[in-house]
């Protein structure tokens, strides 16, 4: 296994391959390490990266809402490209959605139990709905 040593990003020569972290450190890659990194990215479907717009569609919210979620640290992200566009893991977005839905179902069940204990579930729904038919 190769041991990577970080250096300041300012010391990377133009045209060199490297991986960088948010703290300004860079990890230079030789040709073989770069090839393996590309292979891992291309072949690892579990780490499929998607745009914030695609995440918004999965979550059923706006891209602006996804941006707020990312800023709040609710979903991890990375920045890609010259513009620094944010990308997120599809698997993490789906997991976030499933967790949110689960919390919603739990909250609804808690409200149903409270209504039942408070005697608020004695409504004749047939008669209630008949008023609107």
Question: What is the tens place of the pLDDT at every residue in 35-81?
Answer: 887 776 665 555 689 999 999 999 999 999 999 999 999 999 998 87
Chain-centre distance for alpha carbon 113:
32
Percent of the chain scoring above 70 in pLDDT? 90
Cα separation, 86 vs 80, in Å, equals: 6
Number of domains present in the structure of the chain: 2
Residue 58 pLDDT: 93
Q: Is 52 exposed, middle or buried (0-12, 13-18, 19+ CB in 10 A)?
A: buried
Cα separation, 26 vs 7, in Å, equals: 5
Cα separation, 128 vs 133, in Å, equals: 10
Higher per-residue confidence, 44 vs 115 = 115
Task: Assess contact for 12 and 26: CB atoms under 8 A.
Answer: yes
Same domain? For 35 and 55 the reply is no
Indicate the pLDDT class of residue 110, thresholds 50, 70 and 90: confident
Single pTM value for the model: 0.50
**For residue 3, what are the domain limits?**
1-43
Same domain? For 84 and 33 the reply is no
Residue 2 pLDDT: 55
Residue 41 pLDDT: 65
Residue 1 pLDDT: 44
The whole-chain average pLDDT of the chain stands at 83
Return the structure tokens found at 101: 């839905």
Same domain? For 37 and 79 the reply is no
How far apart, in Å, are the Cα atoms of 105 and each of 5, 9, 101, 114?
Answer: 47, 47, 6, 14
Residues 6+ apart with CB under 8 A from 78: 49, 86, 87, 88
Does 25 fall in a domain? yes
């Amino acid at each position: 296994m190769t041991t990577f040593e970080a250096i300041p990003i300012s010391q990377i020569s133009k045209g060199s391959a490297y991986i960088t972290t948010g703290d300004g450190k860079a990890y230079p890659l030789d040709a073989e390490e770069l090839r393996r990194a590309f292979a891992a990215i291309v072949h690892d479907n579990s780490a499929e990266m998607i745009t914030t717009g695609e995440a918004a569609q999965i979550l059923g919210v706006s891209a602006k809402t996804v941006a707020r979620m990312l800023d709040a640290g609710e979903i991890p992200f990375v920045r890609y490209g010259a513009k620094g566009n944010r990308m997120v893991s599809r698997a993490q977005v789906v997991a976030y959605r499933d967790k949110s839905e689960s919390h919603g179902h739990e909250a609804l069940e808690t409200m149903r139990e409270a209504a039942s204990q408070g005697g608020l579930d004695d409504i004749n729904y047939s008669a209630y709905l008949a008023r609107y038919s």
